[in-house]
Amino acid sequence: MRVTVNRKAHFNAAHRLFRPEWTAEKNEAVFGKCSNPNYHGHNYDLVVSVTGEIDPITGFVMDMKLLKDLIKTEIEDVFDHKNLNVDVPEFKDLNPTSENIVVIIWNKLRAKINKAHDLTVTLYETPRNYVSYSGT
Amino acid sequence: MRVTVNRKAHFNAAHRLFRPEWTAEKNEAVFGKCSNPNYHGHNYDLVVSVTGEIDPITGFVMDMKLLKDLIKTEIEDVFDHKNLNVDVPEFKDLNPTSENIVVIIWNKLRAKINKAHDLTVTLYETPRNYVSYSGT
Amino acid sequence: MRVTVNRKAHFNAAHRLFRPEWTAEKNEAVFGKCSNPNYHGHNYDLVVSVTGEIDPITGFVMDMKLLKDLIKTEIEDVFDHKNLNVDVPEFKDLNPTSENIVVIIWNKLRAKINKAHDLTVTLYETPRNYVSYSGT
Amino acid sequence: MRVTVNRKAHFNAAHRLFRPEWTAEKNEAVFGKCSNPNYHGHNYDLVVSVTGEIDPITGFVMDMKLLKDLIKTEIEDVFDHKNLNVDVPEFKDLNPTSENIVVIIWNKLRAKINKAHDLTVTLYETPRNYVSYSGT
Amino acid sequence: MRVTVNRKAHFNAAHRLFRPEWTAEKNEAVFGKCSNPNYHGHNYDLVVSVTGEIDPITGFVMDMKLLKDLIKTEIEDVFDHKNLNVDVPEFKDLNPTSENIVVIIWNKLRAKINKAHDLTVTLYETPRNYVSYSGT
Amino acid sequence: MRVTVNRKAHFNAAHRLFRPEWTAEKNEAVFGKCSNPNYHGHNYDLVVSVTGEIDPITGFVMDMKLLKDLIKTEIEDVFDHKNLNVDVPEFKDLNPTSENIVVIIWNKLRAKINKAHDLTVTLYETPRNYVSYSGT
């Protein structure tokens, strides 16, 4: 009897998409206006989904206050009001596309969540563009 | 060629989280402000998802009017504008966490839906906290 | 050059609508299922709108962090995860309809906001039912 | 390391549900007000979900600009501001239920998307009624 | 002490924009794809806003159940799952633009609502295009 | 008989809040994490509201396609995927708070819209923080 619990969070960040070894022209051709060297930004919305058995005493799969706090310390405190390219070490050599960001977030949370639980992370770059990752 | 049809519904209810055998202090420690003895409440949103083959005559997996009516009689009429702890028999001895509520709703609907169809129920306690259950 | 700044907040609460001097039958006739003696509840969403001149130094009408903190101490800490009828003194003798709640919230905030600013409060009881009040 | 990328789109269209070999009474009995011979309509929202490996150079599963353009030419240009029954050849002999529309959209997109990628299409007829199809 | 109460509703309808005395070319030039002779359609969302004094006995400006029922009989029963051009007499000689629809809806409701109350109607043709009218 | 027509649009941009003549400490004290020298960003949503008489021929207050195009050329092309502080000349010496941005947008649009029409602009920095300006 496995139930999935989901918690929404968000952070606001700047980023740009580019490959440092490419010319400005090639970056513009591949990444379009997302490669603006002066950065642009997003209100990122995040859904963290944890699947597991219901604890028969509490009725919880996982205490949502703990999950909320975990998202705050592991993700929001690190990403919110930051420049992903400049301020977040994981993106020093990794292009901060939504796909790469969602994998980084999944890895950070996976390390802190009970191994008996499955984990999926969904990241909205905009209400029209979003990605999800389950670790496989 | 299996398609999933989804129907949204909602109900407004009061509840509190607590274990009757625990002290007020322990309930407060585990369930926080959700254990307020005077209750608090939510606008619960519900998504019922039914997966099956498309009927070649009607083009329906399941008539959405029938699904809407089923949700009304089985769930909304029982839960809406109610105190889950006091008014709904299933929660007399079961803590009305989102996880336990979604399992109860799934069980009620599973009994009424064609066995050839798969069923998933998603329950939003708030726009930021939600759960889902597929029966396994 | 007056600009309106708006801040959203929310709280979850239980309530019931009734007049203590009426019979159960009359309360049921007037307030319907909202008069359930065991209470029901809502996720209330709140929008606080403050209108004033832009400060030429900061570019702010009002620091949104201060407004956020004010809403937390004056409203959320008092109303969130509470039973409005039982736990909030203002509703001991006042029916907690959306209309009465929004006036109470407006009065609480009006006392704490710069008198040179106009104030409007909008309260969503559900996404389909909401009210607003500007003090006149 | 497979990630799902999702892109939202929309189109506005008229349709009616009916079987031409049935009487008006039988169509009304089965399809209700959806069988109005003069048509009614919807703002259809569409989510196209593509699952695949992240390209290590670009950081993309699929360039979202290409996916956006593909949805425009294959779906929006064909369905938007159209009468599905009259203007879209696929529905000349197929009842344009949400279930049948989502399969048609999936087939159109499947033919144009890298075979190494999985594809799911979700179609909202209204915010309360929606369907999804993954090709199996 | 005047409070505004708002109630959301919706209806799904087909329509087209055109002037019967114009050529197809001129209609296409002015109304674009909205002039498709086979119609297209929308999920129209409606917000009805009524402003008045709070009744000191009930705590209501207006009973929201009565407002909900009034919107159903006056608007939803007449417009839902209809072709506005063909099925709704008011648009036999009036172009069913959002502007004209919102005025028609306002007139229908104004005739049924207490004259001491102010009335505003907001109509969403899509989430991105909407109109409002207050009677002046 | 004046109706308001509203059109939603959006742009994604980076910015930071700071006064160049202040120390880093003072900027941090006043603007908090919004003063991060490396910038952060937002998905800005915009609602442009134009009030005027309905044209009796077309049924339009203003052709929404023209309004959509005007927002694109005047606002989206200038602000989207830009760094407001660096790329937009109006903010070279003006702190890009929501309040200042909404006034700049209003001024740009006011210059292009029929003087017989009233204009209000609403700008969402996040779904929880938004501002509006009507020119007075």
DSSP string, F50-65: EEEEPPTTT--SS-HH
Q: What is the pLDDT of residue B47?
A: 98
Q: What is the pLDDT of residue C92?
A: 96
Q: CB E41 to CB D13 under 8 A?
A: yes
Write down the catalytic residue from B34, B42, B74, B76. B34
Q: What is the pLDDT of residues B38-60, one digit of tens each?
A: 999 999 999 999 999 999 999 99
Q: Give C58's pLDDT tier (boundaries 50, 70, 90).
A: very high
Q: Tell me if chain F has a CB within 8 Å of the CB of C2.
A: yes
User: Does E42 participate in catalysis according to the annotation?
Assistant: no
Helices in chain A by DSSP H: which ranges?
24-31, 64-71, 77-79, 84-87, 98-110
Q: Write the residue in A33, A39, A87 that is nearest to F14 by C-beta.
A: A39
- Closest Cα in chain B, distance from residue C105 (Å): 18
- Closest Cα in chain D, distance from residue B108 (Å): 21
The parent domain of residue E53 ranges over: 2-133
Residue C131: list chain E partners with CB under 8 A.
3-6, 61
- Please state the domain count of chain A: 1
Q: CB D99 to CB B60 under 8 A?
A: yes
Q: What is the pLDDT of residues E65-123, one digit of tens each?
A: 999 999 999 999 999 999 999 999 999 999 999 999 999 999 999 999 999 999 999 99
Query: What H or E segment, with its residue span, contains residue D86?
Result: helix D84-87
Q: CB A97 to CB D59 under 8 A?
A: yes
Note whether F touches B: 3 CB pairs or more under 8 A.
no
Q: What is the pLDDT of residues E80-95, one digit of tens each?
A: 999 999 999 999 999 9
Q: Give A32's pLDDT tier (boundaries 50, 70, 90).
A: very high
CA distance linking residue B27 with residue B124, whole number of Å: 23
Query: Angle B128-B132-B136 (CA atoms, 0-180°, nearest 5)?
Result: 155
Q: Tell me if chain C has a CB within 8 Å of the CB of B81.
A: yes
Residue C12: list chain B partners with CB under 8 A.
40-42, 126
Considering chain A, what percentage of its residues have pLDDT values greater than 70?
A: 100
CATH number at residue D53: 3.30.479.10
Q: What is the pLDDT of residues B71-128, one digit of tens each?
A: 999 999 999 999 999 999 999 999 999 999 999 999 999 999 999 999 999 999 999 9
On whether the pTM is more than 0.90, the answer is: yes
Q: What is the pLDDT of residue F44?
A: 98
User: Hey, what amino acid is at C10?
Assistant: H
Q: CB B82 to CB C34 under 8 A?
A: no
In sequence order, what DSSP letters do the residues of chain E get, joined into one string?
Answer: -EEEEEEEEEEEEEE----TTS-HHHHHHHHGGGG-TT-EEEEEEEEEEEEEEPPTTT--SS-HHHHHHHHIIIIIHHHTTEEHHHH-GGGSSS---HHHHHHHHHHHHHTTS-TTSEEEEEEEEETTEEEEE---
Parts of chain F with a pLDDT under 70 = none
Q: What is the pLDDT of residue B130?
A: 98
Q: What is the pLDDT of residue A80?
A: 98
| Interval C45-72 mean pLDDT | 98
Parts of chain D with a pLDDT under 50 = none
CA distance linking residue C39 with residue C36, whole number of Å: 5
Q: What is the pLDDT of residue F48?
A: 98
Instruction: Catalogue the E-assigned strands of B1-136.
Output: 2-15, 40-53, 82-83, 118-126, 129-133
Q: What is the length of chain F?
A: 136
Q: What is the pLDDT of residue C49?
A: 98
Q: Tell me if chain B has a CB within 8 Å of the CB of D26.
A: no
Q: What is the length of chain C?
A: 136
User: Does A117 participate in catalysis according to the annotation?
Assistant: no
The helix/strand/coil state of F130 is: strand
| Interval A30-47 mean pLDDT | 98
The helix/strand/coil state of D92 is: coil
User: Does B34 participate in catalysis according to the annotation?
Assistant: yes
How high is the ipTM of this complex?
0.96
- Closest Cα in chain F, distance from residue E93 (Å): 11
For residue C100, give the chain E residue with the closest CA: E59
Q: CB D1 to CB A103 under 8 A?
A: yes
Residue F39 region, left (φ>0) first, then alpha (ψ -120 to 50), else beta? left
